[in-house]
């Protein structure tokens, strides 16, 4: 009889433990970078951005974040039901963006993420929300004036970026391409003379050129080497989130917040932005 009482008590305790575990499971992190599956009510959302791109995605010395992509991400997250203090920005470098979404490290990525066919095989995109163009950043006294001048020159870009791929395939096949882990490293190389030019999107280059320590030292070559349609990356198959983000982007444009963010973040560099693109309309590169 004593054995039966102990067994019954143990069974009851086990049932209670299992019930408590099941009830508490709703607050755990899901596979999309959110700590709550019921919107922003008491939960957190993880959003991928760049940490080293002035004017677009920059982590400042005080730990705060600034830039056009940051403003876009914050606006979108708000429309998804999250307040600013519920947003956790996660650094996502170019080479790791697809993996970060596949692993569920973040809910979405707003990080100068150009939409292309190869990437669409791995992730889904909302947008586009900005049309940029690949360009060159060179020293103010540089004699580089066209793409073919890069042949034989030391050119820097970031590992995994479409800019590096464009250079290797068609722009200047004979350029000595240097691939670094960040654009800030490329800019430092340009300043020291380790490289002759840096190539990426004009929006990114304008952000660096406008920094106080670089004013007057660099210039944009003014070449539209490609069309870069920036999209918001989402985990493959998450069409519901794509639809919500597209609606948020449309609202951001219609209420004037989009242009305000462009002017505030890229205006100081005299950046001539293209009009806000229409959702789902990709501007192709010239054939």
- pLDDT of residue 18 exceeding 90, the answer is no
Written as six digits, the tokens of 79 are 């429309």
Half-sphere exposure of 149 (CA within 13 A, CB side): 11
For the ranges 150-164, 227-241, 251-265, the lowest mean pLDDT is seen at: 150-164
For the ranges 35-44, 103-112, 157-166, 209-218, the lowest mean pLDDT is seen at: 35-44
Q: Which residue has the higher pLDDT, 42 or 126?
A: 126
List domains and CATH numbers for the chain.
Answer: 45-131+227-269 (3.40.190.10), 132-220 (3.40.190.10)
- CB neighbours (10 Å) of residue 156? 26
What local confidence, expressed as pLDDT, does residue 281 receive?
97
What local confidence, expressed as pLDDT, does residue 42 receive?
63
- pLDDT of residue 128 exceeding 90, the answer is yes
| Cα–Cα dist 60/164, whole Å | 27
What local confidence, expressed as pLDDT, does residue 8 receive?
46
Kindly report, residue by residue over 214-239, the tens digit of the pLDDT: 878 888 888 888 899 999 999 999 99
Q: Using an 8 Å Cβ cutoff, are 153 and 176 in contact?
A: yes
Q: Using an 8 Å Cβ cutoff, are 55 and 267 in contact?
A: no
The CA distances from residue 156 to 150, 190, 215, 225, 254, in Å, are 11, 8, 20, 15, 37
Phi, psi values for residue 226, rounded to 5°: -165, 165
Kindly report, residue by residue over 60-70, the tens digit of the pLDDT: 999 999 999 99
Q: Using an 8 Å Cβ cutoff, are 269 and 209 in contact?
A: yes
| Cα–Cα dist 170/123, whole Å | 26
Q: Which residue has the higher pLDDT, 24 or 64?
A: 64
- pLDDT of residue 3 exceeding 70, the answer is no
Q: Which residue has the higher pLDDT, 271 or 38?
A: 271
Q: What's the rounded mean pLDDT across residues 187-206? A: 93
What local confidence, expressed as pLDDT, does residue 164 receive?
75
Kindly report, residue by residue over 31-71, the tens digit of the pLDDT: 446 544 335 556 999 999 999 889 999 999 999 999 999 99
- pLDDT of residue 78 exceeding 80, the answer is yes
| Cα–Cα dist 84/74, whole Å | 7
């Amino acid at each position: 009889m004593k054995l039966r009482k102990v067994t019954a008590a143990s069974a009851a305790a086990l049932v209670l433990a299992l019930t408590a575990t099941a009830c508490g499971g709703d607050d755990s992190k899901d596979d999309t970078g959110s700590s709550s599956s019921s919107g922003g009510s008491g939960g957190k959302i993880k959003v991928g951005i760049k940490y080293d791109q002035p004017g677009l995605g920059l982590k400042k010395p005080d730990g705060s974040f600034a830039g056009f992509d940051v403003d876009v991400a914050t606006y979108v997250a708000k429309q998804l039901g999250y307040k600013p203090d519920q947003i956790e920005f996660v650094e996502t470098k170019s080479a790791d963006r697809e993996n970060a979404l596949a692993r569920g490290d973040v809910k979405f990525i707003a990080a100068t993420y150009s939409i292309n066919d190869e990437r669409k095989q791995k992730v889904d995109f909302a947008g586009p929300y900005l049309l940029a163009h690949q360009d060159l950043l060179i020293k103010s006294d540089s004699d580089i004036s066209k793409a073919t001048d890069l042949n034989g020159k030391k050119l820097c870009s970031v590992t995994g970026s479409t800019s590096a791929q464009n250079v290797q395939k068609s722009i200047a096949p004979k350029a000595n391409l240097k691939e670094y882990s960040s654009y800030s490293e490329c800019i430092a190389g340009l300043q020291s003379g380790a490289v002759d030019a840096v190539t990426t999107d004009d929006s990114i280059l304008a952000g660096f050129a406008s920094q106080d320590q670089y004013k007057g030292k660099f210039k944009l070559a003014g070449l539209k080497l490609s069309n870069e349609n920036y999209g918001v990356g989402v985990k493959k198959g998450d069409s519901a989130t794509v639809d919500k983000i597209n609606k948020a982007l449309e609202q951001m444009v219609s209420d004037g917040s989009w242009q305000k963010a462009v002017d505030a973040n890229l205006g100081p560099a005299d950046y001539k932005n293209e009009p806000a693109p229409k959702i789902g309309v990709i501007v192709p590169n010239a054939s």
